[in-house]
Amino acid sequence: MRAKATMASATAQEGQPAHSGKVMSWLRKVFELNPGGPNWARAVLFLDVMLAPLVLFWSIGYQQYLLSALFGALLALAADPGGGYGQRAVHIVVFAAVGAGLTALGFGIGADAWGWVVLAGFVATLLAGLTVMFGVHRFVAATALNLWFIIALALANAFHQHAHITSYTWAQTLAWTGGAALWIVVTFIEWLIRGRADRPQPIAELPGDNSRRKLTRPIIMFAVIRALVIAGTMALAWGCNLSHGYWMPIAAMVAMKPSLQQATLIGVQRIVGALLGAGVAVLLLLIPANVTGTKLFAVTVGFEAVALIFLVHGVAIRFVNYALYYTAISAGVLILLDLGQPSNYGAEGYRILWALCGVAVAVVVMFLAGLLAKRGTATVPPPRPAPQPGPQPAQTRPTGR
């Protein structure tokens, strides 16, 4: 009986299509959870740092400068290397100065001819890719600034298209600098409370290696290919004036990894997260569709609180699973973006479409680059063996008749 049951089980498994097993394997990888669990202490720290600029800009009515301040504070937190306070302060000040320069450039040229935008994106991405020579930690910080630069270009272009929104480049730069300075103040207060002791890196999961690396040919080629891909997607987004097209270069940059398998996995997780987050945002935004007056104001304030909750949860599960993290972040960001126009649900579709295109471009390029690398390796002739010492066999001279 046991032998018959085993044979029946094997027959059932053979009858299942092979691709279903591959799909289930990919789904397990997409939603695989890190056993470390969420980091709620970091989420509370994120909320505490975020509340100061939120209350400030909401109270004075200049919400167009809020994102610059938030990104300045949060990216400074991510770039904090830990250690002694003097070393941390110098590192964050340099990071804030570079970020302020990119903020000024992004908001300064974001509404100009798209050729300048593409050129600036190419140069910024190439330089960010080459910073790996100064250590992996600085490369991660440079990549974060690179993403913010693209967002700043997109915000400048969006503000230019809406005449009722006034945005000054100097004010955006000041807001970024103020956000980074806020994190410096927070670290100083913590340093005093902790008895002026050295502190570990705030986000321990990020690489902390600052050792110098040699710029090898593969590193340079990856940086150049990455910059070309970002420039190409930016040319499509800005040159064709695509609605919410800036999601394409952002998705491409996140998905581009040195390994094709890594790029595909991150890309799939990003698409799944974008779909789930957009679905949640659309369902929630259906609530105030027919609400007006004081009820609309109350619902709007409630949605802002819900968006903050999504963002805090996203920070807590950032290193638990990327798909779930991006679901929470997408839901929070889309709710905040669409509160002013609750009936424009087509925006979510455009964002998902361009994110999908950006991921597809990144995966295809990495696939082609891998094929070219294998082909170049195969065409290289093997080295000729060195002559062995000792008596050589006598050569026979051909005889002719």
Per-residue pLDDT at 11: 46
Per-residue pLDDT at 396: 46
What is the dihedral angle through the alpha carbons of 129, 134, 140, 145, rounded to the nearest 10 degrees?
Answer: -70
How far is C-alpha 122 from the geometric centre of its chain's CA atoms?
17
Q: For residue 25, name the pLDDT band (cuts at 50, 70, 90).
A: confident
Q: CB of 167 within 8 A of CB of 64?
A: yes
The answer to which of 3-17, 19-33, 144-158, 368-382 has the lowest mean pLDDT is: 3-17
Exposed/middle/buried for residue 295 (C-beta within 10 Å: 0-12, 13-18, 19+): exposed
Better pLDDT: 248 or 286 = 248
Q: What angle do CA 56, 61, 62 make, to 5 degrees?
A: 80
Q: Given the structure tokens 């150049």, which residue do they identify?
A: 224
| The overall pTM is greater than 0.95 | no
Q: Give me the sign of the Cα torsion angle 308, 310, 312, 318.
A: negative
Q: CB of 338 within 8 A of CB of 321?
A: no
**199 bridge partner residues:** 83
Distances (CA, A) of 283 to 37, 41, 273, 279: 28, 30, 15, 6
Q: For residue 344, name the pLDDT band (cuts at 50, 70, 90).
A: low
Per-residue pLDDT at 17: 54
Per-residue pLDDT at 178: 93
Q: What average pLDDT does the chain have?
A: 82
